[in-house]
Amino acid sequence: MPPSALTRLRKACLALPEAHEAEAWGTPTFRVKNKLFAMYASGETHVGKGRNGVWIKSTSGNQELLLRADPKRFFFPPYVGKGGWIGVYLDAKTDWKGLASLLDDGWRLSAPKTLLKKHPAK
């Protein structure tokens, strides 16, 4: 049996430097230091609306591009979408490599400058 979407998401998030998990609002969130960069949205909750997903810190420009490029894969997350965050559905068609790249971007938007100097972008 393949690992669950949450298990794979957790592994991808926690692979980032100094990332850790903290439960907030009844769901797993992923942070660097104390800043949030990703949040799991279970399909079984009001925020998931029937589909598992992840909300990732992003810029408004990237959010707009992703939503236009593939609205079946990306969505505008409630509460944080107006701040530029992007939602990504987690299902059998998830592009885990692409998701890891978006998580890295979100991590970089939240990480302190001193940590970014130690881990330059590839």
CATH number at residue 29: 3.90.1150.30
Confidence label for 2 from pLDDT (cuts 50, 70 and 90): low
Per DSSP, the three-state class of 39 is strand
Q: Give domain status of residue 27, yes or no.
A: yes
| Residue 97 belongs to a domain | no
pTM, 2 dp = 0.93
In the chain, how many domains are there? 1
Residue 102 in any domain: the answer is no
Residue with tokens 């330059």: 120
Kindly indicate the confidence band of residue 57, based on its pLDDT and cuts at 50, 70 and 90: very high
114 in any annotated domain:
no
Phi, psi of 19 (to 5 degrees): -80, 150
pLDDT in tens, 62-87: 999 999 999 999 999 999 999 999 99
What is the tens place of the pLDDT at every residue in 14-34?
A: 999 999 999 998 899 999 999
